[in-house]
Structure formats: structure tokens, C-alpha cells
Structure 1
Amino acid sequence: MMTVRLPQLGGCVCGRVRYRLTAAPLLAYACHCHDCQKRSGSAFGLTVVVRSADVLFKGEMDLVRLPTPSGRNVEQNLCPTCRCRIYAQAAEARDFLSLRAGSLDQTDWVIPVVQTWTQSALPWALIPGVRHLPQEEFDFVALGREWQAWAPKFVTD
């Protein structure tokens, strides 16, 4: 089992926004919906769900409210200079936020428990060995328990 030291650091491309993740994440997953493809500029979005209280941000961010494929409005938080998306947060779930995994300085431990919206996936971008889960079956709590059962061991310095 991999061991990951906390805090984990992250930030935007230009360095204007930085953060410290001080506790173990709750979940990591990949999303192949068209919105995640467009917002990431890539084949899919890779997300790490954390408790809001476990992340300390430094630097101002712009907030943009955008609808998701499910119809909910989600707040996207990004650097005002380089426009790098750092995290998203749903109004109805203020205790949690979805960090963009690529904004972490160290990403080798981010292994998704599932991939969803695979009907929108680029055929070559499906992740081998990662279970496909229809979006209507996505349950953050159950998937979090599943991910934590085999996730890396997080330790503090």
C-alpha cells in the first residue's frame, strides 16, 4: 500500500493560488461527461473529493456558477490570472469540495475508484481496470467507503 504524506500541496499554473490539503481525501473518481471534457480541455475530469475544512487556500479566486449535466448549478473556483480551475462546490454540499486532481503538486496517488459518464468517453480514454458506473448509480458516500478501503495510507509529518 502506498503511503502519502500530508499536507498535500497544490495550486494553479501561475502560482497565484496555492492550497494545503491537511487530511485524507474522501474519494477519487473520473468523469467522462462532455462538460468535464470541455472544462479540463482533455479526455475526462479527475476529481478528488475532500472536506472543505481540510483545505487551506491562499490567493483570491474567481467564482463561476455553471450547470452540470444533471442540471445542478455548481460553483467553479479558478485563478483570475491563469484561469486554472482549482475546485468545484455544490451549494447544497458546502462541507465538501471537489478538487481538480491535476491542481495537486503530487498526483501519483490519485487513482479513481470508478469512471462515470462513460457513454460520452473517447473510446481510447477509458481507464483500464477502473469500473464503469452509470451516473444514475453514483453514490458519493458508498463510493467514498469503497475508495477508502484500498486508497493510499495518508500520514502527517
Structure 2
Amino acid sequence: MSMKRLPWEGGCRCGRVRIEVSAPPLVTMACHCTGCQRMTASTYSLSVAVPSEGFAVTKGDPVIGGLHGATRHYFCPHCMSWMFTRPEGMDWFVNLRATMLDDASWYTPFIETWTSEKLPWATTPAVHSYETIPAMEEYEDLLQEYAEWAGKPDS
């Protein structure tokens, strides 16, 4: 896989909220949980985990939606596109919906999670699959493996 050179820009469907990514992703994911199925009205959600310092909202003011709990899901207040998530207790990264990027043609999920809840016919090309989520002690190796798998951005 080869990703585009940084920075990346993106936005919601109507364009009222815009974002910029200036740091390489930590990992790419597909989540099959029923919550993601319902929030995307699809088989799974596609995410890019980005270091918090490499993520910025450059236009507009996203609002919290979804369950309104400790894990905060951010949406455009006008078109209601689900744009990104800030997981509870993990302020060091932002979970950006991959399809919010202006060009997501490089995107491939490296891991898929919550396969225990996936629709029977749903498949992805993910390298690693998990019935729920990876154990905390697996993340360091997964992130290192992803960095090697993803390679360097195109020039």
C-alpha cells in the first residue's frame, strides 16, 4: 500500500466542516460492530487513527452525536456526516472516518474489529481480524507492523 503525501484535507458531505491531517496515520481499520453499522447505515465503518497533534478542524464546528457518552462522535451540524471520534481515555489519537478525506483512494483497512457482529457476507482485505478488539498489549506490535506495511507517502 502507498498513501498520498501529507497534508491531507477532507470534509463533510456539505463542506461546512473541513479537516486537515498533517501526521502519518497510526493504523487503518474497519469496524463491524452494530453501533458502527447503524451510524453509517452500512456494513462497517472505515477509520484512520491519526495522532491528535496531526489532526485539525480547519472550518466549522462539529457537534457531538451518536451515544453522547464518554467516547465522543463528531458530526457536521448541517449534513450530519459522521466525521471523527475521540475514544474515551485515548486523547493521543483521533479516529477519522476515512471517507471524509478528499482523496481516500489510497485507503485499505489494515485491521478489522468486531467481526463477531459482522454481517455474514461482509468482507474486507484487512491483514488482521479480531472478534472484538485487539488486546492492549498487541497494539505496539500492530502499529509497528502497520507502519512497515503502509510504507512511506508518495512524493
Confirm or deny that 1:87 pairs with 2:88: no
**Equivalent in 79, 93, 98 of residue 95 of structure 2:** 98
Aligned residues: 152
Confirm or deny that 1:150 pairs with 2:144: no
* Percent sequence identity over aligned pairs: 36
* Aligned partner letter, 1:9: E
Confirm or deny that 1:14 pairs with 2:6: no
Confirm or deny that 1:64 pairs with 2:55: no
Distance in 1 (CA, whole Å) between partners of 2:118 and 2:82 is 21
* Aligned partner letter, 1:115: E
Closer/same/farther in 2, CA of residues 9 and 116 from structure 1, 3 Å limit: same
Q: TM-score, normalised by structure 2?
A: 0.87
> What is the aligned partner in structure 1 of residue 109 from structure 2?
112
Q: TM-score, normalised by structure 1?
A: 0.86
> What is the aligned partner in structure 2 of residue 50 from structure 1?
50
Shift of 1:60: 0.7
- Bigger CA drift: 107-116 or 79-88? 107-116
Distance in 2 (CA, whole Å) between partners of 1:52 and 1:86 is 15
After superposition, the C-alpha distances for 1:1-27 in whole angstroms (9 at most, x for unaligned) are: 525111111110000000111111111
- Greater share of residues in strand: 1
Asked whether the 8 Å contact 2:112–2:126 carries over to 1, the reply is no
- Bigger CA drift: 36-45 or 141-150? 141-150
Shift of 1:54: 0.5
* Partner SS state of residue 19, structure 1: strand
Distance in 1 (CA, whole Å) between partners of 2:18 and 2:79 is 13
Distance in 2 (CA, whole Å) between partners of 1:74 and 1:10 is 22
Gapped runs of 5+ residues in structure 1?
Answer: none
Gapped runs of 5+ residues in structure 2?
Answer: none
Distance in 1 (CA, whole Å) between partners of 2:126 and 2:82 is 27
Asked whether the 8 Å contact 2:110–2:126 carries over to 1, the reply is no
> What is the aligned partner in structure 1 of residue 130 from structure 2?
133
Distance in 1 (CA, whole Å) between partners of 2:47 and 2:97 is 5
